[in-house]
Chains A and B, each alone.
Chain A
Amino acid sequence: GAGVSQTPSNKVTEKGKYVELRCDPISGHTALYWYRQSLGQGPEFLIYFQGTGAADDSGLPNDRFFAVRPEGSVSTLKIQRTERGDSAVYLCASSAARGSYNEQFFGPGTRLTVL
């Protein structure tokens, strides 16, 4: 079946602009996660959705970052007033349900470059 998809694959923007990154999870997966990966680092957790609600947003770095999942499927990560330090690969993952034993599967990522 289809895996996690993310669009766009690459996004180049200027400092101060607003960007939206989209994630379409594996069909039927109720849990959705956003991570951010900088060069040479492992992915860092940003936010987790169970259904439509953000169950854990403790990883969002500041209030410029926001994410939604209005219908419990597709999610959008929104970044306001982008800064050069926001440049990274933004990864989305989904799993069949919450819980310790549920495996997370990653999408291809969106590479964000803030000039």
Chain B
Amino acid sequence: QKEVEQNSGPLSVPEGAIASLNCTYSDRGSQSFFWYRQYSGKSPELIMSIYSNGDKEDGRFTAQLNKASQYVSLLIRDSQPSDSATYLCAVKPGANNLFFGTGTRLTVIP
């Protein structure tokens, strides 16, 4: 059974703070991990992908992966009100489809 767990939130942070979003997964053989941002009424938008243990930085976003702990996280630095959205963690255990968590709703308070 392939499960992806996320805290549904809501997570509220003040503008300019660091938002930390967490995700755990059950399939130890998973090889690739993705974070999608989804605004209300819109489709998921890919913001980060990570495949190796450690950190991967892209602008204000940092993805962190720990395969031994089956844990992946997303840090958003200098959070902006425009970052308010639902963040979906997705795991690809094999070569094909993604398995998604239920998402964490983030609110950045001006």
Contacts and interface: CB of A to CB of B under 8 A. Distances in A.
Interface string B84-110: 000010101011111111110000000
B69 interface: no
A14 interface: no
Nearest to A104: B98
B43 A45 contact: no
B45 A42 contact: no
Interface extent on B, as a size class? 20 to 34
Contact of B88 (A42, A59, A100, A105): A42
Given A44-B100, A99-B95, A104 B43 contact: no
B17 interface: no
Interface residues of A, number: 25
A22 B94 CA distance: 26
A57 to B, nearest CB: 11
Contact of A108 (B43, B97, B100, B101): B43
B95 A100 contact: yes
> Which has the most chain B C-beta neighbours within 10 Å: A98, A101, A104?
A104
